[in-house]
Amino acid sequence: MSDSRTPAQIEADIVRRRERLAETLDELGVRMHPKTIIGDAKAKVASTVDQTAGRAFVAANRVVTDMKVRFVHEDGAPRLERVVPVALAVVGLVGLLALSARKRKA
């Protein structure tokens, strides 16, 4: 197979390939530089933390909203039929814990 390109065309092709190779090597040098690797790792960690915090916020918000629906009417008034028993249970639990702590000290 004969090459119909002129020497000038071949030389120009070699120059283009050298330039592309130099660009590729420069890009690899930047990618493999320790600062770049550390920066990429930090960005990945920050992204993961942001996603985790976002999911935690959504989950907490869902729980708060569910509790609000259970203990507050749509007009904002408390649902006393639900609030009073829970409040009494909490007061009773705190009382039991106080008595238990008192007995341990004695």
Tens of pLDDT, residue by residue over 58-96, are 999 999 999 889 999 889 899 999 999 999 999 999 999
> Amino acid identity, residue 95?
G
Q: Is the whole-model pTM more than 0.85?
A: no
Q: How far apart are CA 80 and CA 71, in angstroms?
A: 8
Alpha carbon distance 84, 78 (integer Å): 10
Any idea which residue has 């993961």 for tokens? 48
pLDDT tens digits, one per residue of 45-62: 999 999 999 999 999 999
Ordered by start, the domain boundaries in the chain are: 78-106
CA distance 17 to 11: 10
CB-CB contact of 15 with 7 (8 Å): no
